[in-house]
Every structure is written in C-alpha cells, then in structure tokens.
C-alpha cells in the first residue's frame, strides 16, 4: 500500500514526475515480487497518459446540447429537462432521463503542456526505451506478462497488459521494433505448442493479441510512413 500511495502522489498533471521514478517503475515491472509488478504495470500506463499533452482523439469531442448542434438532435434530446442551473446529470447511456450527458467538454491539457515540455517527454521516452532494449529485461517482461501465478494455477491476466496502446502511442516505431521479434516468434513458430507447456503457450498467444490490439489502436496517432510499417507487421 505504501508503494501504491507513493506512486499516486507522484503521478500529477501539475508537476513532472522525477526521472528516478520512471526508472523505479521500469525496474518494478520485472521485479520478483508479483504485487510490485502489478502496481508498476498500471503505473506505467497512467504515467504515459501524463505526457500526452496534445488533443489526439480520432475525432473531436462535441458539445451536444449547445445552440449550434441542437438543430440536428432528436426531439427528446432537444427538450430534455434539467434540474436547476447546474450541469446535467451524468446518467447512464440509455434514453431520456437515462440518456447520455448533454454536454461533453473537451479535455483541457494546458496544464500538462506547461509542466511536461518536449525536452522532458524526450527524456522519458529515452528512459523507457533504454530498459525495453535490454534483452534480459524484455525477456523477463514478456515472461511475466504471459503467465501469472494465481493460487495453484498459472494464467494470463489481461489487466496487466493494458498499457500497450499508451506505450506504442508515446514511443511510436521504436517500441514496435522492440516487440517485433516476440510477435514474430509467436506468430511464425508452428511447433511452439509442442515445446511449451499449455499455460505458457496460451499466455504468449494472449500477450501477442494484446500487443497487436494496442498497436492497432495507437497507429491512428502515427504518421503515414510509420503506419505502413505497423500495418505490415499486423498482416
């Protein structure tokens, strides 16, 4: 719990995280202590979000209930009632009173842009890549992500591998180059199931799927040349 609270305090939009903390997160991802690995997997994903300082949504968010958009809205949305002068209730996404919120404000990333300048972001990327490009580190990372000991069973835990979109989005092609050998070894080895235990074999297949899923979601933020390289690997 002390580790969790310490990392939460460090992950702030209004103050850049010390580079030493990035190093600790990367080291913790291959720790022999499973609880520390779990914390650091999540911490990396959250920390990568902090250095996303530009609006990178695939399409701009809309202000649904304003005067410009109201003409195109269904009648029940235009006549939707509010309670008091405050913001609309964040209801469930069904219909009428349980419809979507009337206003979707755009995310304000000005604080991040001020506190996470390009020089700092470049230093962060270099720190992450220096760890990922270490063969021993990468071998331990893919091993821990593929199979997790859960009681008496060994299984793949998808929540541990949800940082790949942020990783590929932040690092681009260099991150893809790092994981490309693993992806090819999983996809191009027809005899893998005969050499590996079933839990490791299935875990590697699941990890490869998470990697490809993160890659596909991140490529929409890449330039055209980088996308061509990524698409060739996905094929």
In the structure, what pLDDT confidence band is assigned to residue 45 with cuts at 50, 70 and 90?
confident
In the structure, what pLDDT confidence band is assigned to residue 234 with cuts at 50, 70 and 90?
confident
Supply the mean pLDDT for the chain.
73
Q: What is the pLDDT of residues 120-179, one digit of tens each?
A: 888 989 999 999 999 999 999 988 888 765 555 566 776 667 788 888 988 889 999 999
Q: What is the pLDDT of residues 67-98, one digit of tens each?
A: 444 444 444 444 444 444 444 444 444 444 44
CB atoms within 10 A of CB 161: 20
Can you give the three-state secondary structure of the chain, one letter per residue?
CHHHHHHHHHCCCCCCCCHHHHHHHHHHCCCCCHHHHHHHHHHHHHHHHHCCCCCCCCCCCCCCCCCCCHHHCCHHHHCCCCCCCCCCCCCCCCCHHHCCCCCCCCCCCHHHHHHCCHHHHHHHHHHHHHHHCCHHHHHHHHHHHHCEEECCEEECCHHHHCCHHHHHHHHCHHHHHHHHHHHHHHHCCCCHHHHCCHHHHHHHHHHHHHHHHHHHHHHCCCCHHHHHHHHHHHC
User: 118 to each of 8, 82, 90, 168, how far by Cα in Å?
Assistant: 23, 43, 35, 17
In the structure, what pLDDT confidence band is assigned to residue 222 with cuts at 50, 70 and 90?
confident
| Residue 15, pLDDT score | 78
User: How many Å apart are CA 57 and CA 203, to the nearest integer?
Assistant: 31
DSSP 8-state code for residue 106: P
Nearest of 158, 135, 138, 150 to residue 205 by alpha carbon: 158
């Amino acid at each position: 719990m002390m580790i969790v609270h310490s990392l939460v305090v460090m992950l702030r939009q209004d103050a850049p995280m010390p580079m030493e903390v990035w190093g600790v997160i990367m080291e913790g991802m291959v720790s022999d202590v499973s609880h520390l690995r779990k914390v650091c997997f999540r911490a990396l994903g959250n920390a990568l979000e902090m250095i996303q300082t530009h609006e990178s949504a695939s399409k701009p968010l809309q202000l649904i209930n304003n005067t410009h958009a109201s003409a195109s809205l269904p009648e029940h949305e235009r006549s939707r009632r509010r309670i008091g002068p405050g913001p609309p209730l964040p209801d469930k996404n069904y219909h009428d009173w349980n419809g979507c919120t009337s206003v979707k404000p755009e995310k304000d990333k000005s604080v991040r842009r001020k506190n996470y300048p390009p020089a700092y972001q470049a230093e962060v990327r270099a720190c992450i890549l220096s760890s990922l490009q270490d063969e021993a580190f990468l071998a331990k990372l893919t091993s821990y992500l593929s199979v997790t000991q859960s009681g008496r069973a060994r299984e793949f835990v998808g929540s541990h591998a949800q940082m790949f979109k942020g990783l590929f989005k932040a690092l681009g092609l260099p991150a893809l180059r790092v994981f490309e050998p693993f992806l090819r070894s999983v996809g191009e080895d027809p005899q893998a199931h005969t050499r590996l235990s079933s839990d490791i074999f299935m875990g590697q297949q699941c990890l490869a799927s998470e990697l490809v899923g993160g890659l596909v979601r991140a490529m929409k933020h890449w330039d055209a040349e980088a996308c061509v390289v990524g698409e060739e690997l996905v094929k």
